């Protein structure tokens, strides 16, 4: 295979530059033996997106390594110094997950920031992403960084940036940081000579503050006291959750916690799973096995940076099943709203937030209690923006998205699997107090609001060609939208990139009052909703399917659920995704 001259030029620029000898040897090896890998490593720059960096670790401009992390950090440092010109001290908190090189990248970021005169508060060892969000506010920092690739496979790592409210970057800071990062065109523009006097090591003080604050969000301590021996199985899947989830559950009052020991040790190779993603059944298998062995009441799992949570429960026949992200969101929202209502905490100023691809069941629960709700684009930074815009005027109860991320209360401004674990365990205790299981509680929610069935289909397209394929798919849906799907007419199209809603029945158009985003939604005349969007963090395009029917009797659940399952599969097949 011949090597593209432009790629070769980029590789030679690194090879002849001031990089370490190990990296140079890796480039020489690729040039000699692996031109495909050389192309993938150097065909573009690893994009500093609105959330930061994420990519495969290795040498090259399109990889996560010391130099790409250093360049991103130099850009961030330059922007912070432009914004905070009147501050005597600029402060940044940094945390990392257990991935290979995470602690190294966190140290590189610390050195670059401190070399630029910025005070750094670096966690002594791995910590959950939500704790970093908390630390930014607690330590009155101007920004934060967490080194993580969330639930991606072990080859990946990432770099997420936070602003002074503990939330990920939103306009104008997201675009402005990108502009500054793009100005750093060479690692030779990066100041790597750190100042250790400006690097402060933090740890237990923040842990304690986080847990004490979280404990104030319990809504039913008396119920937990009656069910403190609820059998809880927990796995951190080799991630940061082990640092705080067991402590949090104990602080809430739970005493019967069983940890999957084989997955309790943080390990960037994630040796017991193919992918450390609690959305995948394979990653939950060990926890499910332990659940069966001890006849657990609830199974909880967190991803490597403990911002997403997977939940296992017993079905009506005592068999363990995994809830999807929408079902967990429904249980959390229902519990929070009902408890706030029962305790007289609803004053008319409370609200719920969900993303546009998350189940409408969440908004129906909110509407049922006259609680305001907001729809936002995918990504917790948009939920955090709603909180910031309403701070001091309204109270955020909770919110989430179908991709297993949820937030309770305002003390953290990113998805938080630690408090989600504790509140879900509390919800299980509340259900037990009523003499029912979590699964039975979910069916009762369906009886009250309607039976919802949601499904996600991911189409993976990797590498250079994959990006082009995904773009072509979106372009085709946009320029040639389907007129019908599975025999049902498309009656409404929402295009969040063009910020337009097109009513195909009346022919009218209206404006979408949300930031631009590459998302399309098709509404069918039977009430079904199909959303399509490229992933912002992985090489895939996502298809979200949502259908609904009325559930009149508990006894009808199994048959009605099977009917919806068949229907959603027919829609997926009709779109050529099976």
| Secondary structure (DSSP) of 193-205 | ---GGGEEEE-HH
Q: Which residues are within 8 A (CB) of 458 and not within 5 positions of it... i.e. 6 or more apart?
A: 535, 540, 541, 542, 543
CB 26 within 8 A of CB 58: yes
Q: How many helices (H) and strands (E) does the chain have?
A: 18, 23
Q: Write down the catalytic residue from 102, 114, 133, 150.
A: 150
Q: Is 420 a catalytic residue?
A: no
Tell me if the domain spanning 452-574 has CATH number 3.30.310. yes
**Is 0.85 surpassed by the pTM of this model?**
yes
How many whole angstroms separate alpha carbon 260 and alpha carbon 291? 10
How far apart (Å, rounded) are the C-alpha atoms in residues 75 and 63? 17
Q: Which token pair is 254?
A: 């739970």
Sequence ranges of the domains in the chain: 1-40, 44-203, 228-448, 452-574
Asked if 287 and 235 touch (Cβ cutoff 8 Å), the reply is yes
Whether 44-203 and 228-448 share one fold: the answer is yes
Would you give per-residue pLDDT tens digits along the chain (578 residues)?
577 889 999 999 999 999 999 999 999 999 999 999 999 999 989 988 777 899 999 999 999 999 999 999 999 999 999 999 999 999 999 999 999 999 999 999 999 999 999 999 999 999 999 999 999 999 999 999 999 999 889 999 999 999 999 999 999 999 999 899 989 988 899 999 999 999 999 999 999 999 999 999 999 999 999 999 999 999 999 999 999 999 999 999 999 999 999 999 999 999 999 999 999 999 999 999 999 999 999 999 999 999 999 999 999 999 999 999 999 999 999 999 999 999 999 999 999 999 999 999 999 999 999 999 999 999 899 999 999 999 999 999 999 999 999 999 999 999 999 999 999 999 999 999 999 999 999 999 999 999 999 999 999 888 778 888 999 999 999 999 999 999 999 999 999 999 999 999 999 999 999 999 999 999 999 889 999 999 876 789 999 999 999 999 999 999 999 999 999 999 999 999 98
Rounded Cα–Cα distance for residues 572 and 567 (Å) = 9
> 3-state DSSP call for residue 265?
coil
**How does DSSP assign 484-506, residue by residue?**
EETTEEEEEEEETTTTEEEETTT
387, 380 in Cβ contact below 8 A?
A: no
Sequence-distant contacts of 225-230: CB under 8 A, at least 24 apart: 225/253, 226/429, 226/433, 227/428, 227/429, 227/432, 227/433, 228/253, 228/254, 228/255, 228/256, 229/255, 229/256, 230/254, 230/256, 230/297, 230/298, 230/425, 230/428, 230/429, 230/432
The crossing angle, in degrees rounded to 10, of helices 417-433 and 204-215 is 30
Closest CA to 232 of 471, 432, 490, 366: 432
Angle at 303 between CA 239 and CA 52, to 5 degrees: 95
- 228-448: what CATH class? alpha beta
CATH number for region 44-203: 3.40.120.10
Q: Are 369 and 353 in contact (CB under 8 A)?
A: no
Structure letter (DSSP) for residue 241: G
Q: Is 151 exposed, middle or buried (0-12, 13-18, 19+ CB in 10 A)?
A: buried
């Amino acid at each position: 295979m011949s090597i593209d001259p432009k790629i070769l030029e980029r590789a030679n620029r690194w090879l002849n530059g001031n990089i370490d000898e190990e990296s140079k040897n890796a480039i020489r090896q690729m040039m000699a033996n692996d031109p495909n890998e050389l192309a993938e490593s150097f065909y573009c720059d690893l994009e500093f997106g609105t959330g930061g960096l994420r990519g495969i670790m290795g040498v090259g401009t399109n990889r996560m390594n010391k130099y790409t992390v250093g360049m991103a950090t130099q850009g961030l440092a330059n922007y912070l110094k432009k914004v905070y010109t009147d501050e005597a001290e600029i402060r940044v908190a940094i945390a990392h997950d257990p991935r290979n090189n995470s602690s190294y990248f966190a140290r590189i970021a610390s050195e670059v920031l401190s070399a630029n005169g910025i005070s750094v508060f670096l966690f002594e060892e791995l910590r959950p992403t939500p704790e970093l969000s908390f630390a930014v506010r607690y330590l009155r920092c101007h920004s934060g960084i967490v080194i993580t690739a969330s639930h991606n496979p072990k080859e990946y790592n990432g770099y997420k940036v936070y602003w002074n409210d503990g939330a990920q970057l939103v306009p104008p800071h997201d675009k402005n940081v990108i502009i500054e990062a793009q100005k750093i065109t060479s690692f030779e523009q990066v100041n790597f000579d750190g100042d250790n006097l400006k690097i402060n090591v933090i740890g237990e003080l923040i842990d304690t503050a986080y847990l004490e604050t979280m404990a104030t969000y319990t809504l039913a301590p008396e119920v937990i006291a009656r069910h403190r021996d609820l059998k809880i199985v927990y796995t951190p899947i080799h991630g940061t959750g082990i640092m705080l989830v067991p402590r949090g559950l104990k602080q809430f009052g739970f005493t019967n916690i069983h940890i999957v020991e084989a997955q309790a040790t943080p390990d960037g190779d994630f040796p017991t799973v193919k992918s450390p993603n609690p959305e995948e059944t394979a990653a939950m298998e060990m926890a499910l096995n332990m659940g069966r062995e001890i006849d657990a009441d609830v199974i909880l799992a967190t991803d490597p940076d403990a911002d997403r949570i997977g939940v296992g429960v017993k079905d009506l026949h005592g068999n363990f099943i995994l809830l999807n992200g929408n079902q967990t969101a429904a249980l959390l929202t229902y519990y929070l709203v009902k408890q706030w209502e029962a305790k007289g905490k609803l004053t008319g100023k409370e609200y719920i937030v969900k993303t546009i691809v998350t189940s409408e069941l969440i908004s129906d629960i909110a509407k049922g209690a006259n609680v305001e709700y907001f729809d936002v684009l995918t990504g917790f930074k948009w939920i955090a923006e709603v909180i910031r815009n309403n701070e001091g005027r309204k109270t955020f109860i909770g919110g989430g998205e179908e991709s297993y991320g949820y937030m309770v209360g305002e003390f953290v401004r990113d998805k938080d699997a630690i408090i989600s674990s504790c509140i879900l365990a509390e919800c299980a205790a509340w259900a037990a107090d009523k003499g029912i299981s979590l699964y039975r509680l979910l069916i009762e929610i369906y009886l009250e609001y309607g039976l919802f069935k949601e499904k996600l289909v991911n189409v993976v397209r990797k590498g250079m060609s994959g990006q082009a394929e995904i773009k072509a798919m979106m372009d085709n849906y946009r320029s040639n939208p389907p007129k019908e799907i599975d025999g049902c007419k498309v009656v409404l199209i929402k295009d969040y990139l063009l910020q337009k809603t097109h009513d195909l029945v009346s022919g009218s158009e209206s404006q979408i009052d949300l930031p631009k985003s590459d998302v399309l939604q098709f509404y069918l005349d039977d009430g079904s909703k199909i959303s399509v969007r490229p992933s912002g963090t992985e090489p895939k395009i996502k298809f979200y399917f949502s259908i609904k029917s009325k559930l009149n009797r508990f006894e009808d659940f199994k048959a009605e659920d099977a009917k919806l399952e068949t229907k959603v599969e027919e829609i997926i097949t009709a779109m050529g995704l099976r």
